[in-house]
Structure 1
Amino acid sequence: MAMQDPIGSFVKELAGFDYSLSVLDHVWTVRFPDANGDWQHLHVNRYRKTYYISHVNSDRRIPGLVLDPRNAPTLEDNRGFSGFQHDSDDEALERWRSLMTSATKWLRTTGRDWIKANKRVQLEYPLNCRWGIAPHCLVRESLPGIYRLDRELGKKRTRKFVRLVEDGFFMKEENSLNTVMTAADYFNYCKIAYLSGQREEDNVDESLSGRQMYERYADGRDEGLLEIDENCEQEFAAWVNHEHPKRSTGGHPWEIKRGGNTTNIQLQVCRPTGRFGGKFKVQLHGPAITRMAEVLNMLLGIHQAGLPITVSDPEGIRSRLLGLDNIGIVPAYETLHRAEQRFPKEQNVYDVMYFDDLGRYKRRISPFIRWEPLPILKPSDSLPRVRCQARMPDADAKSISVLDDNRIR
């Protein structure tokens, strides 16, 4: 790989900068302005002597670059991925050379004064390319058209669920326990759930028994639940314990309403341990924002019928209903699908959106957003350093406000 080539020059310059470790791989994150002044983001992973470079905020028309010092640069084969658009290898490599020219220039600038260069990244990097969290209550108060779980559930049912949480109903495990249980009992739970949680488009046949509803509306992979004696306590207990000869594996017996991996609704039965061992705990689970109203209607219907029941993460659901949780802000180049899983649990994020979705309310909400810190790119200790100033001059402090205004627009 010739070093006069822009790609080779980039690797040569990058070797002079500190890296993080992922197991034994060397990892660099490089954010830089290109020839047009647009900010770009490269992720570089070095495994042994081979570099794997990804253009993080690309338009998906440029596959990753593989640099093996013994061979010419090659492209990662991403063309099998759904939605990936790629014209030709020659065009992609030419785009990489253009990116590398700008990235190399930025690395040299950073090497001369890494504090000044990193400050520019912090001030100018576009907000719609960053991760952050915003208070849900502020977002839903500002955006009149945003989906609101509390409105779909209704004021009366929202107050009822919140009261259950605040009265400690879900903290008392006995409120979710049955001493004995049969498959027929479980199917009765299912019938109440289907009728209580039905949407207008569901058209649930109310004349069906609980067993018939389960056969019609559940996932269908029941692992033998429909084959046992539904009135026998011992058979259901053995089936739940995975001890029944008709109990199979690989199915989804608790998935009472179909959906994807994160959008189905489950009515689970398990055997708790400890002092409640031997009993049957019944729990609803369906955290997807698109299914939560159904889950809560099911829960309230089962509770009204006087049956033991609980739901996963009741405190979190209360936060979502009252707008006390956070909404994750996702970079424009990322997909929103399952993006909420990217945020740590303690950040209380259940839903996500793009910064640009805030529209004309960006200026109102931006001061409340907590942005994920951008990593510092600095030369390794073997290179000369620039002395860090003790405090930021007033002129620089003023520039932050001006630059923030420019990024919000």
Structure 2
Amino acid sequence: MNINKNNFTNFNKIVIGVMLTPILVVNSYAETLRNRTLLPEVWAPNLIWDGGNNPHFNKWQPVGSADPTAKVFNGTLYVYTSTDSKELCQIRSDKLQKHAYAPWANTGFCMPGYQVFSSADASLNQSTWQKHGLVLRQKDVPWARKSAEGWGNSATMWAADVVEGDDGKYYMFFPSVRGDNNHQTIGVAVADSPAGPFVARPAPIATTNNFDHVFDPSVIKVGNQWYIFYAKNGSGGNKAIWAAKIDANFNYIYNPLDLMLEPGSYLEGPHAYMIGNDLWLQWASVTAPAQWPYPGGYQIKQAVAWNNNNPLSNFDQRGIMVHPFGNPGTNHGSVVSWENNYWAFYHDHLNGKNSGYTPTAPNQIHNYRRAMYSLVEIDASKRGEVKPFRPDNIVNQPSLSN
């Protein structure tokens, strides 16, 4: 084949043009990147297994953290997380019988209680966190389902929230499965200190009927009224975010309302918080786009109350706050003001319930869901919106750079 100089030059232009085309394409995932810091790792048996006294649990295991709710009490930042250890559901007894955590034993979620971390460090360096251990266990909740092993055969102590009540005591709101009808509901536990331990009340929160098929509570006081946000079936037949008034003693709810945030989409993990005079709400959504290199999955969205603080009214949806990373993305978290900065807490979902808990990414250094946090910016021109970001590098000291 004869190729003259002009043809060869044109051929080079075509080849080079093809090679450069991907570099010139605008990246649709060019969101702001933020580094992230992991909450400290926790190991059992000292936390989960009563100091190793149970003969079925005779070795140390890493225990994950998930669903981080960050709150400031008395000049200290506290973070409340659910436990998350698939090993709890996999360990067999000396009779080689798997522990019964039905009906979720096969999903990989095994969450028998809540743990607390605290820090007084303004910069939240990873090394400054204090671990307070397990402060409420499902086995100690009077109305929750129990098992012969004593751990509650559903292990469904999912996302919790903590507030300081009008009486100066600390109230934890948590979901679990009822022992009488096997329905998931929300209960309350009380403590004298934000670090616990918390003692569960004998019965869950009530309405005119049972407050059932609900989970992921978030409680906030607006003016003189307390409100609770939670996940429940809503319009479109999928999980939705609801809000209701709750009495000051946290015994019952009234005026429940589906907020209609994303009708038909699967939503969970609501968290309500204030930025200045504005009431904000975030939640986890599974409407993330499935596109390389960030597969679809969970993402955290945010909205602000239209009329400046009526939780039982429409919300002005602002869109994504934490973009997904990994597969299937980013889930349940919270936002908190701490030492003149704002921080977003969340957990990864790299090791979803069907992944076998096997590391699949270069920066994935753990084999269970783990709580983490990033320093974030607030957009004053948008009533205090948290500027969207995508979690990136793992560091010991968070900063606004990446």
Q: TM-score, normalised by structure 2?
A: 0.22
* More strand per residue: 2
Larger radius of gyration: 1
Question: Structure 1-normalised TM-score?
Answer: 0.21
Structure whose residues are more often helix by fraction: 1
